[in-house]
Amino acid sequence: MTKLACRNCHRIVEESDTCPVCRSTSLTEDWTGYVVIVDPGRSKIAEKLNVDNPGKYALKVR
C-alpha cells in the first residue's frame, strides 16, 4: 500500500484510509520529506510542528 499523509496533522499513514491521530479521511499521496518523532514532550521539532503523538510525519503536504 502507498504511504499517505494526512492533510490536517501531517501524520504518515501506511495501512488505513483514516488518520490514527486526528481521524481525518483527507489523505494524500502528494507529500515530501518526513520526520520521526520519538518523544514529543522533549522534542523541539515536535513543538515547532505542533505534534503531540510519536510517529512519522510529513514535512510538506499538498
Reduce the DSSP state of residue 25 to 3 states and report it: coil
Specify burial of residue 9 (Cβ count, 10 A radius: 0-12, 13-18, 19+). buried
Is 57 assigned to a binding site?
Answer: no
8 A C-beta contact, residue 35 and residue 59? yes
Is 46 assigned to a binding site?
Answer: no
Is 32 assigned to a binding site?
Answer: no
Is 9 assigned to a binding site?
Answer: yes
- Which residue positions form the known binding site? 6, 9, 19, 22
- Which residue positions form the known binding site for Zn(2+)? 6, 9, 19, 22
